[in-house]
Amino acid sequence: MLKRMRKHVKALHLTLWLVIITFIGTTFLVWGFRSTSGDLGPDTIAIVDGERVPYTEYQQLYRRHYEQYQKALGDKFDEKILERVNLKSQVVDSLISRHVLLHEAKRLGIVVGSDELVAEITNMSAFRDQRGFSRDRYLRTLEASRQSPERFEESLRQDLMIRKTEQWVKAAVTLHPDEAWEAVRFNRGSVKVEYLLLPDAKGQQATVDRLIALVKERTPWEEMVKVSGVKPISTGFFTWDQEVKGVADQDNFKEAALVLEKGAISPVIQTPKGKYLIRVIDRKDPDRAEYEREKTAFRRGVLNRKRDQVFADWVRQLKARAKVKIGEATL
């Protein structure tokens, strides 16, 4: 969880930000759905849980993104950028996400009343002048974007349904009493460790299994070193933001090390780039008094990231259950 929350605040490349800002008002998540491809006909871009997604929706959304890229990049705009970020697939994925979320919102009985819709429209700055909401400006703006009021209002109603669904999920997420402090310790603390880099060979699996059992039995570190047959490697103090020299899989290694107390031993960390066993020699925590002074702000930030992650996990589960067929021939 901490790793995923932390990734939420990493800096993103410009092109990724441009993709993200186009999905204003709703979180669109694109992983996990079961999909098949085939010829769905010229009028359908996808079928989501038995509901057809019209190809016109794809065209409109693609055109909107295309124009936003042009505006954001100006003279630097090049259609090759759209190929690099695979904009076509981005648009299809966002449409599938939208329909999955709408299906769940309807199942949950979430609705948007006419009063809510009117309030949302009349408060939009694009439709207001010095006197407030302007119906003429509203109609002119929609005409310029090639949208009818009926189509725009239905799309906005769906946006609000998805927003309310997201708020409903996030409202149930809370923090344990020490959860914010543990997150601060993880992100701002530092540790000094020694570790075993275990051979990644089939013939060594028996040794790895033995070490896994020894960890569960709380066997002393020295005995584990003997069983492993390898020499421990020591590090200096490092934080999450610092690279650990000689370690191939930085994220998994640091995630395992930074949650440990002084003297604690990790489980065997099996990563795509190697297997590790870690013991923390020493640990330095952030200043607790400083944390207490800024506790409210820390808790708010951790809670918001946790809510984002819980919602993302929930949507991934929805998409994993969804039955999706994509009409690739129409792209």
**pLDDT tens string 199-215:** 776 667 888 899 999 99
Q: Flag whether pLDDT at 263 surpasses 50.
A: yes
> Looking at residue 224, what is its pLDDT?
95
Contact 196, 146 (CB under 8 A): no
Instruction: Assign 13 a pLDDT band (cuts: 50, 70, 90).
Output: very low
Where does residue 130 rank: exposed (0-12), middle (13-18), buried (19+ CB within 10 A)? Answer: exposed
Is the confidence at residue 328, as pLDDT, over 80? Answer: no
Q: Are strands 34-37 and 323-326 parallel, antiparallel or unpaired?
A: parallel
Q: What is the DSSP letter of 198?
A: E
The lowest-confidence range among 7-11, 77-81, 96-100, 199-203 is 7-11
Q: Is pLDDT above 80 for 28? A: no
Helix axis angle for 295-321 and 87-107, nearest 10°, is 90
pLDDT, residue 38, reads: 61
**Residue among 242, 249, 283 at smallest CA distance from 269:** 249
pLDDT digits over 273-285, tens only?
889 999 999 999 9
Is the CA virtual torsion 30, 33, 36, 38 positive or negative? negative
Residue with tokens 């460790």: 193
Mean pLDDT within 209-232: 94
| Architecture (CATH level 2) of domain 190-284 | Roll (3.10)
- Rounded CA separation 133/123 (Å): 7
Q: What is the pLDDT of residue 128?
A: 95
pLDDT of residue 25: 35
pLDDT one-digit tens code per residue, 37-77: 566 777 899 999 988 999 988 998 999 899 999 999 998 98
Q: What is the pLDDT of residue 331?
A: 61
pTM over 0.75: no
Encode pLDDT of 120-136 as tens digits: 999 999 999 999 999 99
Is residue 288 over pLDDT 60?
A: yes
Indicate the SS3 state at residue 313: helix
Q: Is 2-173+307-330 a CATH 1.10.4030.10 domain?
A: yes
Question: Residue ranges per domain, the chain?
Answer: 2-173+307-330, 190-284
